């Protein structure tokens, strides 16, 4: 196993090895000695590169001799056929939709898993109307350079079968019947390894996985070591038990400049959850109630008592499991699921419930030296294993809305309210997000333009943020009441108007938390 290194660095490593060997020779070497010295130098460089490769693998122990199979380098004969995504197919096979199964067939034996997936953001990954509009804008702006970049994670089957198409006139992206179903069963259960050691950043992201489908009746990869199916062969995959699996798409960097525009996996990787061995699947493949317990007790679902998540993983299964994973993969997006499946959709409600249990507020009144009163608000990220917010943090908005009233209910102070256009005053509100700029330093919300963040205020897992609000109580005020809300929306209203057209959609505001504090004067 050899870690890919820049040619100049490789030459330097070999030169150092050669110099060390040559220094031992008191007289000019013979051709045979030169060959021997070269061999020793090559061996030294191989050892140095293997050490660097082991270092690149996060969490690798110094004594670790080899990487797990699912992290090994791409085989020399294989290549990245679908740039700028990092998807590979073993042997560079040409895939067709016949290599993949339709999710509705999987439902025959796995109705519970299918029910969770159907209507989820994974199933709607390609159909998401807001994403489609934004993708169209980017595809036009970059001259067609984002087809595989976005498609690699939103329709891996569409990309690898060549059925993903962009209609420049209508702005619509389409794929074949199976590819159009986004991230479906035969996407995840045919991912055989991660290619993160081959990416430009040496990090997970941009569809950095190997896809190895074997047809509807071909073997399926999964996290169970003793799974058996009467319909298809099964094979245990260590990768499916790791957060690395999810990181292949839940880290995204700009393919033009390498800047990380989404870092959900990295946010988790440096968190207490990662140190406790809690992975993405432990929160996003269980009901909200269990996810809350995982965050509170910092234990994996299989370590919790009385979860009620046992059962059979499939129809006709021979063995009952203590834990059967849900496949809804619910996060915080309640907008798209409601748009596509209706306001009362199970997935939209689950997303709201997760948001409403992710954070807590602590309120406290203080006196100031100048005679003013001050409200101290602390926001805690109590239940998200990544930052709040996460994903496209320059687009997401979490903010504090403060309303202070007197004893008669009259408002004497307010901060964080929306204006008549549904917008926030970003310069005068406590908001948790990122501010991105393009190469000219101009603020942008368009991912393909982002070159850096000039401000980043997201709250890390188990972290908190404090804001203070100074106000004066008018004469005669005997009591003040502070009502504080922590609000969330997936996109700002201005971006929605730009992408979808003014007035097309009002982005809903979800109240994540609400607290009240009183002070007698």
In three-state form (DSSP H/G/I as H, E/B as E, the rest C), the secondary structure along 188-210 is HCCEEEECHHHCCCCCCCCCCEE
For the chain, the residue count is 521
SS3 280: helix
Beta carbons of 179 and 161 less than 8 angstroms apart: yes
Q: What is the pLDDT of residue 104?
A: 96
SS3 310: coil
Cα gap 479→408, rounded to integer Å: 9
Beta carbons of 482 and 375 less than 8 angstroms apart: yes
Cα gap 343→47, rounded to integer Å: 58
- DSSP assignment of 128-165 equals -HHHHHHHHHHHHHTTS-SHHHHHHHH-HHHHHHT--E
Q: What is the DSSP letter of 335?
A: H
Cα gap 500→492, rounded to integer Å: 12
Cα gap 487→313, rounded to integer Å: 37
- Cβ-in-10-Å burial (0-12, 13-18, 19+) of 474 comes to exposed
Q: What is the pLDDT of residue 340?
A: 81
Cα gap 80→89, rounded to integer Å: 8
Q: What is the pLDDT of residue 23?
A: 41
Cα gap 313→298, rounded to integer Å: 25
Q: What is the pLDDT of residue 286?
A: 96
Q: What is the pLDDT of residue 263?
A: 97
Cα gap 203→460, rounded to integer Å: 20
SS3 518: strand
Report, as ranges of residue numbers, the positions in the chain whose pLDDT lies below 70.
1-67, 72-78, 342-344
């Amino acid at each position: 196993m050899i870690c890919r290194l820049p040619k100049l660095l490789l030459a330097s490593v070999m030169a150092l090895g050669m110099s060390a060997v040559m220094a031992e020779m008191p007289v000019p070497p013979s051709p045979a000695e030169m060959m021997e010295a070269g061999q020793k130098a090559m061996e030294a460089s191989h050892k140095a590169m293997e050490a660097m490769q082991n270092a690149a693998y996060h969490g690798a122990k110094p004594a670790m001799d080899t990487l797990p199979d699912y992290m090994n380098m791409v085989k020399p004969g294989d290549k990245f056929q679908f740039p700028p995504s990092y998807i590979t197919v073993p042997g560079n096979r040409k895939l067709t939709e016949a290599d993949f199964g339709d999710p509705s067939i999987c439902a025959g034996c796995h109705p519970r898993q299918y029910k969770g997936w159907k209507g989820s953001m994974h199933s709607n990954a390609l159909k998401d109307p807001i994403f489609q509009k934004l993708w169209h804008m980017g595809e036009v702006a970059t001259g067609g350079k984002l087809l595989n970049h976005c498609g690699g994670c939103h329709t891996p089957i569409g990309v690898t079968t060549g059925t993903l198409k962009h209609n420049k006139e209508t702005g619509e992206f389409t794929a074949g019947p199976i590819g159009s179903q986004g991230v479906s069963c035969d996407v995840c259960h045919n991912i055989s390894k991660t290619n993160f050691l081959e990416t430009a950043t040496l990090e997970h992201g941009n569809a950095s996985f190997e896809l190895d489908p074997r047809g509807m009746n071909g073997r399926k990869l999964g996290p169970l070591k003793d799974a058996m199916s009467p319909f298809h062969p099964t094979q245990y995959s260590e990768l499916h038990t790791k957060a690395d699996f999810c990181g292949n798409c839940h880290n995204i960097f700009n393919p033009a400049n390498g800047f990380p525009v989404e870092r959900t996996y990295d946010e988790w990787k440096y968190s207490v959850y990662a140190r406790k061995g809690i992975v993405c699947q432990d929160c996003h493949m269980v009901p909200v109630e269990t996810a809350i317990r995982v965050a509170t007790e910092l234990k994996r679902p299989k370590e919790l008592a009385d979860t009620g998540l046992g059962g059979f993983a499939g129809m006709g299964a021979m063995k009952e499991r203590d834990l059967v994973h849900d496949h809804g993969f619910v996060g915080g997006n309640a907008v798209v699921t409601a748009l596509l499946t209706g306001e009362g959709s199970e997935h939209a409600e689950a997303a709201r419930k997760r948001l409403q249990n992710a954070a807590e507020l602590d309120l406290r009144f203080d006196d100031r030296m100048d005679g003013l009163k001050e409200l101290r608000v602390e926001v805690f990220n109590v239940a998200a294993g990544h930052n709040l917010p996460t994903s496209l943090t320059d687009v997401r908005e979490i903010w504090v809305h403060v309303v202070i009233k007197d004893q008669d209910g009259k408002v004497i102070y307010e901060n964080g309210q929306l204006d008549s256009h549904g917008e926030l005053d970003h310069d005068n509100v406590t908001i948790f997000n990122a501010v991105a700029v393009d190469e000219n330093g101009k603020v942008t919300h368009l991912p393909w333009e982002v070159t850096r963040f000039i401000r980043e205020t997201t709250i890390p897992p188990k972290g908190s943020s404090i804001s203070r609000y100074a106000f004066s109580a008018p004469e005669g005020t005997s009591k003040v009441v502070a009502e504080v809300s922590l609000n969330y929306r997936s996109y700002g209203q201005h971006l929605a108007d730009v992408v979808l057209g003014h007035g097309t959609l009002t982005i809903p505001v979800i109240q994540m938390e609400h607290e009240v504090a009183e002070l007698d004067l």
